[in-house]
Structure 1
Amino acid sequence: MEALEPADFERAARARLPAETWDFVQGGSGAERTLAANRAQFEQARLRPRTMVDVSTTDQRLTLLGSPLSTPIGIAPVAYHQLFHPEGETATARAAGRAGALMVAGIFASRTLESIAEAATGPLWLQLYWLRRRDALAALVERAEAVGFRALVLTVDAPRIGRRLRDARNGFAVPAHIRAVNLDPSLMAASHRADAGSSGIADHAKEQFDPTLTWADLAWLRERSSLPIVLKGILTAEDARLAAEHGVDAVVVSNHGGRQLDGALPTLSALPEVVAATPPDLPVLLDGGVRTGTDVALAVALGARAVLIGRPILWGLAADGENGVARVLDLLKTELDDTLALLGRPRLADLDPTAVVR
């Protein structure tokens, strides 16, 4: 059957992936309250359509940190794309380029930064965790800038990994044949084994992530690269103001897809206060729970410049590689076009909070 919505790829991916990999993708932390709340906030919001508006042409183009994009729908950083398809991140990058979409590659990508950059025809950003080994972090930043990545996305909500019970029950570890190839293997050994009642992901983070990260450390990162710095994991006005004060170039409202602090604010709830606390020229992005083009319109109306999509991209990758990812992005773009037209707000700039009732 022809896929008519991203959820069609969800069903196809579940049929193809091992159960423990499926749980790794779909699961959240704790009782998965935040995971469910991310979706619930989008499902409970309602739109206020305007009529008698010329919607013969819709336009979802934008410019983000100097890069022109065809859509505000980007690809969120997720580790180990080769868990889902042999071509991994290179397939994802090609699909993003076909869609004119931003791709944020993960620090634990399973393809080299160089091969991802070679495959990409659109803008690439690189996501980072703050590692204890700053020399490894600095080397990765240097490589990314050299091959054309356009921004660094520092994830700030993971001083340790949340208790992800599905992974712990499955004893999930990264298969030996799939590696985070951009880092020294000695840094990644723990990710390939799992202690009883834990997971390789959690054990690796405990070993390698530096929990002493503070706002003062941003100066160290700024000294090592001229690339814009984006902070991912901002949920409060207080942290949004501090990000602006420390010269950050953009922020991502994110709760790690419900995989860190269970009970944390859903992202659509947190978005308005973050937007209100940041200067108008500091872009605010959002991830977590976005599943449809209408969800994208809701986020943009409430102040997001763009959204990042995680799980649906992996569904498409698992189902049909590059073409699956491209089709997921195409479906989301088509849904967003339909929403803009039926909402009577044909351009992204026409979306504002008056379009939404929550």
Structure 2
Amino acid sequence: MAAGPGRVRQNQVYRAGVLGRRPAVPTDFAELERRARKASSRTAWAYVAGGAGLGRTMRNNREAFDRWAIVPRMLRGAADRDLSRDLLGTRLPAPILLAPVGAGQLMARDSDLHTARAAAATGVPYVYTNQGGTPMEDAAAAMGDSPRWFQLYWSTDEGLVDSLIQRAEAIGAGALVITLDTTVLGWRPQDLNLGSLPFARGLGIAQYTSDPRFRSLAAERVLENPAEVTLAAVRSLLTMVRNHPGGFLDNLRSGRPRASVETFLDIYSNPRLSWDHIATVRERTSLPVVLKGILHPDDARRAFELGMDAIVVSNHGGRQVDSSIAALDALIQVREAVGPEKTVLMDSGIRSGADVFTALALGADAVLLGRPYMYGLAVAGQRGVEEVIANVIAELDLTMALTGVTDLAGITRDLVQPVPGRAV
């Protein structure tokens, strides 16, 4: 009998169960989320699990999936299945990448290294976050030859933009993923209620403090009058010092950590980012370029007209605009606008292998997985990330088997249909 990743994963779990062992992370998302919340600090949970405004976009993302039902087909002999896909020169074992998630240190120390090693162990590409706690060079070293992409936040300093791109090329990134939807931070009440922004405490800025251009900018900065001295301010300063490159005492005396934080807050993203900026990127890198954050068909068309290689239909997991269109709904419109040949990825709201199947059926070439693997990280570190990846791929594989599909090309629109009574 065929043993695809679904049966392999099931057998691992059930055989371990005979010995009294349970999976490191729950196999259903609801329990995974509950366990991750229990394992996380208030500030970590607010940042990773929180959304914009009233949380309507997060709900929209999930409700969009609930409006579609999978239609299994019988007797198609789908005993052997191929989940692989070639994507911009990267061979994927399954149509899944790990999304960039900033400030993962809130969930686990060395989160980027844990995630990088888990991605390498499973063969799934990891999109390094521009807002990581580990320099991209260190994460790349942890992955060996495994595929990695790099996310770019377009700074107000063009020299820093070029430096980050050059470093991404040097570490063998398979693509440059430019995030468009975070030129300013959305209104995030969970963080605001705690007065918590990780970057202001030196978390999630290691790509900057390891960058020669950024360090020169920070070195030029003249600090204003000392901040008000409170217990919280002292704790924040110590966090900055611990997370800054160099020795603790030297950092404490020099003021470099605080200068780096202030410099980062001034330049990390460009509120004036426009299509004119994007038009320059083809001259600045030979890497495939992916634009992340597309929701409108006209923006999708414009991206490809400017020579971009792919887009990610995404609303940033509901973290930027409250009451935004669901990413899955936008995916349908975008695919219809750009046609079948363009490379279109999707994230925001993916929670399971069945969700991946639905997204592929509605036009995605692959999806990016975000919160689920971060929750696995919170619960069980690297092993937790690996198990979340394995569980999602296993369910996708079993859904294909039970729907009579032998490869990703067979996941077509006729295998999903609107749920009666729920508007699409």
Q: Does 1:96 align with 2:119?
A: yes
RMSD: 2.3
SS at 2:307 equivalent: coil
What does residue 272 of structure 1 align with? 332
Q: How far apart, CA to CA, are the structure 2 residues paired with 1:155 and 1:337? A: 30
Q: How far apart, CA to CA, are the structure 2 residues paired with 1:253 and 1:174? A: 26
- Consecutive unaligned residues of structure 2, counting only runs of 5 or more, are 1-21, 209-213, 228-235, 238-260, 419-424
Task: Give CA deviations for 1:156-194 in whole Å, capped at 9, x if unaligned.
Answer: 11221110111111111227463411104749999x79x
What does residue 383 of structure 2 align with? 323
What does residue 184 of structure 2 align with? 160
Task: Give CA deviations for 1:102-157 in whole Å, capped at 9, x if unaligned.
Answer: 21111111111111111124211111112111111111110110111111111111
What does residue 130 of structure 1 align with? 154
What does residue 342 of structure 1 align with? 402
Contact 1:161/1:205 (8 A) holds in 2: no
Q: How far apart, CA to CA, are the structure 2 residues paired with 1:91 and 1:292? A: 21
Q: How far apart, CA to CA, are the structure 1 residues paired with 2:204 and 2:288? A: 27
Structure 1 residue 10, shift from structure 2 partner:
2.1
Q: Does 1:149 align with 2:173?
A: yes
CA separation of 1:16 and 1:343: change in aligned 2, threshold 3 A: same
Q: How far apart, CA to CA, are the structure 1 residues paired with 2:202 and 2:157? A: 24
TM-score for the superposition, normalised by structure 1: 0.92
Task: Give CA deviations for 1:14-69 in whole Å, capped at 9, x if unaligned.
Answer: 11111121011111111111111101111221011111111111221111001111
Q: How far apart, CA to CA, are the structure 2 residues paired with 1:57 and 1:335? A: 15
Structure 1 residue 326, shift from structure 2 partner:
0.2
Corresponding residue to 1:178 among 187, 190, 203 = 203
Corresponding residue to 1:229 among 289, 307, 326 = 289
What does residue 37 of structure 1 align with? 60
Q: How far apart, CA to CA, are the structure 2 residues paired with 1:223 and 1:238? A: 23
Q: Does 1:332 align with 2:355?
A: no
Q: Which moved more, 1:150-159 or 1:272-281?
A: 272-281
Structure 1 residue 6, shift from structure 2 partner:
4.0
What does residue 25 of structure 1 align with? 48
Contact 1:5/1:328 (8 A) holds in 2: no
- Consecutive unaligned residues of structure 1, counting only runs of 5 or more, are 194-200
Task: Give CA deviations for 1:271-296 in whole Å, capped at 9, x if unaligned.
Answer: 11111222433210000010010000
What does residue 83 of structure 1 align with? 106
What does residue 417 of structure 2 align with? 357
Q: How far apart, CA to CA, are the structure 2 residues paired with 1:308 and 1:244? A: 20
Q: How far apart, CA to CA, are the structure 2 residues paired with 1:159 and 1:182? A: 18
SS at 1:182 equivalent: helix
Q: Which residue identity is paired with 1:244?
A: F
Q: How far apart, CA to CA, are the structure 1 residues paired with 2:185 and 2:385? A: 27
Provide the aligned length of Structure 1 versus Structure 2: 349
Q: Which residue identity is paired with 2:94?
A: T
Contact 1:34/1:263 (8 A) holds in 2: yes
CA separation of 1:29 and 1:177: change in aligned 2, threshold 3 A: closer
What does residue 196 of structure 1 align with? none
What does residue 97 of structure 2 align with? 74
Q: How far apart, CA to CA, are the structure 1 residues paired with 2:150 and 2:204? A: 17
Q: How far apart, CA to CA, are the structure 2 residues paired with 1:114 and 1:204? A: 20
